[in-house]
Amino acid sequence: MHKNDYQYHLPEEKIAKFPVQPRHNSKLLHYKDGKIQDFHFYDLPNLLPSNTTLIMNNAKVIPARLFCKKETGAIIEVFLLQPNGDYLSAFSQNETCEWFAMVGNKKRWKTGAISSLNGLLTIEWVDRAQNLVKIHWQTKKTFAEMLETEGKMPIPPYLNRETQTADLESYQTNYAKILGAVAAPTAGLHFTKEVLAQLEENNIKLLETTLHVGAGTFKPVEVDDITQHPMHAESFELTVPFLNQLIESQGIFVAVGTTSLRILESLYVAGSNILHNIDNPLTILQHQTADDNLGYKAALILVRDYLTLNPKTVCSTSIFIYPGKKIKSIQGLITNFHQPNSTLMLLVAASIGDNWKTVYQHALNNDYRFLSYGDSSLLWL
């Protein structure tokens, strides 16, 4: 499979630089059984069967960009990616913590400490080769509180603009709760309080989970053979009550966004790992395969029972969902319109096959807005 098979022309003017207001006024493309219909996102509650369970990623984007200066005056950007340890502990620290980061202007910072522009944080290398840094502060505030004043919201690079005050709210879902993401689960940006209330009134079940979306989500596929693309790893949170609710659900599953789907599909692989006694079964590797004979609910039960016995298990996934991979977990997907040659585009193609071309051409021809702040789609598998 070649990356050019998943390419399309995306004109710059189709990329939404800002969201519509209110959010639920965004367009919603409805695709089912080869038929496309145009709606608005506020129509979603009436497009879902009453036995639907929506699985939503409640990850909260952190102000991950720290602009610092050396004594020489050189500006260094430290883009926090993930803590050296668990997220909860990192954000609750009140003196120091360690993070893996992308460092802009790295060649200008070889040794010594640098300070944030406000002077409240100092940062030094722990391991320059591994891009691991240690951050210090003396205010006795938690690191989460320090980021609120010292950090800057990381909006997607393809917006080609600076972060604005409005992004602090518009680049978070209305149900964002768990700190740690450096990119928003953008399929959830369309959900307003009104839509959420209507979903509950229509007896649609809402389940929240957490995948800490990483910067790797923006990494394009650059190799000709898409199967050789090095997939990024992302941490996710898992609880026994969440698994029980999935197991007990009797209807259909619809994933809100590609990040929710990554968790749901990872759970199937995890169940297969447990069944076959694979080490670290909740660390999902890119090229791991799963037992095709294992039912999805059976996989969830295996994961639930394992987690009950091993409650402190760290969960991470490098799962790569591309055409040819059979999706086990869902019947529907709510997602935005993605960049050409992206892993998200491949996931959509894995969901609805070559019909992605018809869906995307319809969106281009009918003035849909693309990417993170763009319009949405409800795709039935």
Q: Which residues lie below 8 Å from residue 145, measured CB to CB, with a gap of 6+?
A: none
Phi and psi, residue 331, nearest 5°: -110, -15
All CATH 2.40.10.240 domain ranges of the chain, comma separated, are 65-152
Q: Which residues lie below 8 Å from residue 254, measured CB to CB, with a gap of 6+?
A: 48, 52, 53, 54, 55, 330, 331, 332, 333, 334, 378
Q: Which residues lie below 8 Å from residue 100, measured CB to CB, with a gap of 6+?
A: 80, 81, 82, 83, 84, 130, 131, 132, 133
Note the pLDDT tens digit of each residue in 176-222: 999 999 999 999 999 999 999 999 999 999 999 999 999 988 899 99
Give the model's confidence band at 358: pLDDT under 50 very low, under 70 low, under 90 confident, else very high.
very high
CA distance 57 to 256: 7
What pLDDT was estimated at residue 73?
Answer: 86
CA distance 352 to 330: 12
Give the model's confidence band at 122: pLDDT under 50 very low, under 70 low, under 90 confident, else very high.
very high
**Short-list 369, 9, 5, CA closest to 221:** 5
Note the pLDDT tens digit of each residue in 82-108: 999 999 999 999 999 999 999 999 999
Residue 301 has pLDDT above 90, yes or no: yes
Note the pLDDT tens digit of each residue in 32-61: 999 999 999 999 999 999 999 999 999 999
Q: What tokens does 334 get?
A: 């709510």
The mean of the pLDDT values for the chain is 96
Average pLDDT over residues 304-330: 96
Secondary element (H or E) of residue 40: strand 35-40
- Lowest-pLDDT choice from 63-67, 69-73, 81-85, 356-360: 69-73
Residue 317 has pLDDT above 90, yes or no: yes
Strand partners, 254: 54, 332
* Chain centre to alpha carbon of residue 67: 24
Pick the CATH number of 3-61+171-380 from 3.40.50.2300, 3.40.1780.10, 3.40.630.30, 3.90.870.10: 3.40.1780.10
Phi and psi, residue 379, nearest 5°: -110, 125
Average pLDDT over residues 307-331: 96
What pLDDT was estimated at residue 1?
Answer: 81
Q: Which residues lie below 8 Å from residue 82, measured CB to CB, with a gap of 6+?
A: 99, 100, 180, 212, 214, 235
Q: Which fold has domain 65-152?
A: Thrombin, subunit H (2.40.10)
Phi and psi, residue 55, nearest 5°: -110, 120
Phi-psi region of 33 (alpha: psi -120 to 50; beta: other; left: phi over 0): left
All CATH 3.40.1780.10 domain ranges of the chain, comma separated, are 3-61+171-380
Amino acid at site 107: K
Give the model's confidence band at 71: pLDDT under 50 very low, under 70 low, under 90 confident, else very high.
confident
What pLDDT was estimated at residue 134?
Answer: 98
Give the model's confidence band at 246: pLDDT under 50 very low, under 70 low, under 90 confident, else very high.
very high
Average pLDDT over residues 244-256: 97
What pLDDT was estimated at residue 315?
Answer: 97
* Burial tier of 217 (Cβ tally within 10 Å: 0-12, 13-18, 19+): buried
Residue 140 has pLDDT above 90, yes or no: no
CA distance 134 to 132: 7
Distances (CA, A) of 179 to 79, 164, 232, 256, 367: 15, 20, 19, 18, 34
Residue 67 has pLDDT above 90, yes or no: yes
